[in-house]
Amino acid sequence: MPQSYDLYFASSNIHKFREAKKILEDFKINLGFFKCELEEIQSHSLLEITKGKALQAFKKCKNPIIVEDDGLSINSLNGFPGPYSSYVFKTIGNKGILKLLNQNRKAKFISIISFHDKKNLEFFESKVYGIISDKIKGKGWGYDPIFIPSESNKTFAQLKNKNELSHRFKALKNFSNWYLGK
C-alpha cells in the first residue's frame, strides 16, 4: 500500500529533505520526498528563486509541496555567496570560503520555505546570525562545518541539536504554525 503524505518536499537534495522530515515530524506533519531537478532562476533574491521553484515543483508533483532555498550571507563579502551558495560550495567549497575571509567573520544563514497547493503560494523566511569559523570543524554537509550560530561556540556540524537552532528549523516552524492553523 502506498504511503500517504500530508505534503511533499520537492528537491534533488536528500540532506535537506531528511532535515525537513525530521523537523516536521515534531509538528505531526508527514512529509514525503518528491525528488526532482528544478531550474533555478538567476536572481539576487532568494524569495524569487524559491517562488520559481515552488511553481515548477507543483506543476510536476500535482500535490501540495514545499521547497526550500537558503543562502549563506557573509558580511565582509557584502552578502556573498547569498543566493549563489550552492554553486559556490560546488566550485570552491568551505576551504575556498575560508581563504576569502579577513578578520570580520560575521555571517547569517537565511532559509525560505515556499508552500504551494494550487490555491496558496506562501513564503516563510528565517535567519540565523553567527560567524564563520577559522577552520573546518565537524563532519556535516554544505556549510555546516564552518558556520557557528550566535547561540553556540560550535559549528552546525558539531551540534547534536542543530535542528532546534537552524535557519531551516525556524522557517519550517513558521510554516508549520501557519499550515496547522489554516
Enumerate the active-site residues: 69
Is the Cβ–Cβ distance between 166 and 13 less than 8 Å? no
Give the list of residues 6+ apart from residue 169 with CB closer than 8 angstroms, or none.
Answer: 23, 126, 162, 163
Pick from 104, 83, 81: nearest CA to 94:
81
Is the Cβ–Cβ distance between 70 and 167 less than 8 Å? yes
Pick from 8, 9, 20: nearest CA to 168:
20
In degrees and rounded to multiples of 5, residue 29 shows phi and psi of -110, 125
3-state DSSP percent of the chain in helix, strand and coil, to 5: 35, 25, 35
